Amino acid sequence: MKSNLLRIAIVAVAVTVAAAPAAAQRGRGIPVPPLPAGPIEYRTGDGMAIRVVVLTRGLENPWSLAFLPDDSILITERPGRLRLFRNGELSDPIPGLPDDIEANFISGLFDIKLHPDFEQNRLVYLTYNRGREGAGSVTVMVRGVFDGTTLTDVEDVFVAEGATSVSRMLFGPDGKLYMSTFGERDEIAQDGMNYAGKILRLNDDGSAPDDNPFVGRTRWHPEIYTVGHRTPESLVIHEPTGQIWESEMGPNGGDEVNVIVAGGNYGWPYVSLGRSYAGPFQPDKFHREGMIDPVVSWVPSISATGMTFYTGDRLTAWNGNLFVGGVRYGEIPGTGRLQRIVFNENMEELRRESLLEDLRVRIRDVRQGPDELLYVITDETDGALLRIEPLE
Amino acid sequence: MNIRIAFSSAILCLAPTALPAQIGVPAMPLPDGPFVIDTAEQGPVRVTVMKGLELPWGMAFLPNGDLLVTERPARRLRIVRDGVLDPEPIAGLPEMSGGGGGLMSVAIHPEFADNNVVYVSYTKSAAQGNRAVGLSRGRLEGMALVDVHEIFAAEEPGGGPAPGLPLVFGPDGYLYFGIGGANDEIAQRGDSYFGKVLRLNDDGSVPENPFAGREGFHPELYTIGHRNMVGMTIHPETGAVWQNENGPLGGDEVNILKAGANYGWPLVSYGRDYSGAPVSDKRTMEGVEDPVLFWVPSIAISGMTFYTGEAFPAWRNNLFVGGLQFGRIARTGQMQRILFNESWQELRREAFFVGLRQRIRDVEQGPDDLLYVLTDEQDGALLRLEPADQAAERENLESE
């Protein structure tokens, strides 16, 4: 305990020194202190004492991660790189990625998922923002073969014409491949002939399954599964029910977690609990008949990102809780956090706890590892991979 | 010496407290201060701490800069002069009950400089199965209230948590008096004072109010459909009364009061019952005023004020609200700042004091243009916020 105190006192001084120049600028955000060398200990809301370990730094705006069968971790970096974290070491960028990844303020390389039969076929799926000369950018899904060091045989799986920017994937319990697209602009999220603002349901080769909800409907793309999404940031399975849960960034307020049902309309841009960045609400404000309300909402926004249901035993008191990352609270930079949501037996919310708030870093994704610990990535230019362990 | 609160894990390790059985993060002592916090837009802010208040609830500045503070269950009215708490409470308060209630708000008459008139709101003893509230006025003379008269009292069947009882004078000269404590449909009933805002003349008589003459409605009522009320303040430009109320699990609200309006509790809410079930399947309905701000999850909203001073230029016309706990996790109290566009629509929201783990009960602007904050703790405190000037900041860094 004594050595702990000493270490932390040093951290506090470092914070003071580093914060001063940034604070002097009086910018809109709150200065972000350097991430402590760790480990960092917390006593949290349901009696869980935890330790947060910094596994690696030096990740540039990491966006997503995937655990390989040997417990190493593939991590995407938004500027367009893929890294492998193995045996405590971060690899150089994996060769073989497409050369048309267009990186900008929020766009670039996004999600990574392994094919359910990865051990046999070594297939890795990626989503990214493709730059096209003279044709604008577009969200695409590709897949390639990963042999442990290099990505080869990369081919297009799906080109989501009309969509740009952020995209998540999920291999569902039905074996289908779900892909979300960004749909903030105008009314594209409601347009059946535009892939933006949708969740798509695909076969693993990108073709449309025959049993999709809009198959055969005139002027609707057959790949569409749900409509009316603004900025989907996560797709996960709720194991007890097999439901797909989605997290979505609202504008200024109105972050959402939705339970995804075939053919559902989730309301954007007509309905939101949030305000536009300029201040007014969306046209139908908070509800419209025929559009599905979220099961969890945020006002103000935490800028909800990746999420995961914790189903392990090592963080005992957290079993069944939903963890959601956030990059910014209330439109104030320097206020990222991880949140934990506790539900009753009907999956109705009971309470919500903010974690890692003091670090002030943008939390981009959170996953449960094969070791039943939680892994977190911070979306910073010197981003980090963190692991949350029980303190015993 | 200034201590910069880094909200680091140091705080956690310093706190000797064992893990509590209830759901909450461990308590930690409030530093004696002063300390510096980083804020958005306004930069570093120096916080001075004055301890010695027991569960304070409300405060009011006198024109000379002295500050009146209520201590709720102790039922004491205290006075702070130049940052020093007078050890003696002010004598002459009316009879009131303690427990979960007690002395709540204190407000001064708009012509206090001439008449020294002060108002206090409180809970009262009631017959078995009933609950009661009161509002008194008196003149402050030295360390005593004199000529104290109870100008409003109500006793009704019911129980549950004590109602919040905020008070504010409008620019129209009327006294607005919120009576919270309406966890159920009683908030919609015109023959109950709970879950309503009342509008009174300064002597407690009833002006021409929107429900006057309406069958089954008390004549004092100004607005209905509120849950538990805590903060009320006057908008600096429009003069409207802005009121806030606690939702259950989610659904804290800030409302702009309009004569005769219904604010919807419990017919509509953004919140969930404590069991997790939705309060209503509706978030809005015809004939119900929507809030101007709401919180999901709740911050257990408390006192609030608009900042109109010069000391914090970046905060002018921002709304400051207190919060007792976030997301129903104990010891996660905070203060929040809301910034608006020119149409008074929200642009952003900043949280302060999350690392302190104190219940923030009230925030007021002093005559010195600084912000003052009450912590709702057994060992409660008055915090004073002032901009940490750059020279002092450099000096401090060097000395560290």
The amino acid occupying position A106 is: I
The Cα-based distances of A157 to A73, A181, A244, A246 in angstroms read 23, 15, 22, 22
In chain A, positions 319-358, which contact chain B (CB-CB < 8 Å)? 329-335, 339, 343-344, 346, 348-354, 357-358
Across residues B62-69, what is the average pLDDT? 97
CA distance B270 to B284: 9
User: How does DSSP classify residue B260?
Assistant: T
The Cα-based distances of A182 to A77, A132, A139, A164 in angstroms read 19, 18, 9, 6
* DSSP states along A31-97: PPPPPPSS-EEEE-TTS-EEEEEEEEEEESSEEEEEE-TTS-EEEEETTTEEEEEETTEEPPPPTT-
The amino acid occupying position A131 is: G
Whether A2 and chain B come into contact, CB under 8 Å, resolves to no
- Residue B6 reports pLDDT greater than 50: no
- Residue A316 reports pLDDT greater than 70: yes
Q: Which residues of B touch A320 (CB under 8 A)?
A: none
Residue B398: the pLDDT is 56
Of A11, A45, A277, the CB nearest to B23: A45
Of B25, B40, B277, the CB nearest to A30: B40
Nearest CA in chain B to A41: B9
Q: Which two tokens stand for residue B180?
A: 């919270």
Q: What is the largest CA-CA distance in chain A?
A: 70
Whether A318 and chain B come into contact, CB under 8 Å, resolves to no
Mean residue pLDDT of chain A comes to: 92
- Residue B395 reports pLDDT greater than 70: no
pLDDT tier at B101, thresholds 50, 70, 90:
very high
A337-343 and A349-355: which strand pairing? antiparallel
- Residue A204 reports pLDDT greater than 50: yes
Under DSSP, is residue A291 helix (H, G, I), strand (E, B) or coil? coil
- What are the two backbone dihedrals, phi and then psi, of residue A12, each rounded to the nearest 5 degrees? -60, -40
Residue B21: the pLDDT is 41
Residue B167 CB contacts under 8 Å (≥ 6 apart), including other chains: B58, B105, B106, B107, B119, B121, B135, B175, B176, B177, B178, B232
Round to the nearest angstrom and report the end-to-end CA distance of chain B. Answer: 9
Alpha helices by DSSP H, listed for chain A, are 2-24, 118-121
Please name every residue paired with B296 in a beta bridge, in sequence order, or none if there are none: A299
CA distance A44 to A51: 11
- Residue A2 reports pLDDT greater than 80: no
Lowest-confidence segment of A44-58, A138-152, A268-282, B276-290 by average pLDDT:
B276-290
- Residue A90 reports pLDDT greater than 80: yes
Using the structure block, give the residue that is written with the tokens 């009327």.
B174
CA distance B229 to A345: 31
CB-based contact A384:A54 (threshold 8 Å): yes
Across residues A370-376, what is the average pLDDT? 98
* DSSP states along A216-240: T-TT--TTEEEB--SEEEEEEEETT
For residue A199, count other CB atoms closer than 10 A to its CB: 26
CA dihedral over A55, A59, A64, A68, signed as positive or negative: negative
Mean residue pLDDT of chain B comes to: 92
Residue of A328, A352, A355, A391 best to disrupt the B interface, most CBs of B under 10 A: A352
Whether A222 and chain B come into contact, CB under 8 Å, resolves to no
Across residues B231-250, what is the average pLDDT? 96
Q: Which two tokens stand for residue A382?
A: 């010197």
Instruction: Please tell me the distance in Å from A201's CA to the nearest CA on chain B.
Output: 30
Instruction: Please tell me the distance in Å from B381's CA to the nearest CA on chain A.
Output: 23
Whether B26 and chain A come into contact, CB under 8 Å, resolves to yes
List the one residue out of A243, A112, A264, A111 whose CA is nearest residue A172: A243
CA dihedral over A141, A147, A148, A151, signed as positive or negative: negative
Q: Which residues of A touch B250 (CB under 8 A)?
A: 297, 349
Q: CB-side exposure of A41: number of CA atoms within 13 Å?
A: 18
CA distance A350 to B272: 8
Residue A25: the pLDDT is 39
Nearest CA in chain A to B15: A43
Q: Which residues of B touch A1 (CB under 8 A)?
A: 13
Across the interface, whether the CB atoms of A29 and B40 are under 8 A apart is answered: yes
Q: CB-side exposure of A260: number of CA atoms within 13 Å?
A: 29
Q: Which residues of B touch A13 (CB under 8 A)?
A: 400
In chain B, positions 64-123, which contact chain A (CB-CB < 8 Å)? none
Q: Which residues of A touch B38 (CB under 8 A)?
A: 19, 23, 30-31
Give residue-wise pLDDT tens across range B9-22. Answer: 333 333 333 333 45
Burial of B272-290, coded b for 16+ CB within 10 Å and e otherwise, reads beeebebbbeebbeeebbb
Whether A286 and chain B come into contact, CB under 8 Å, resolves to yes
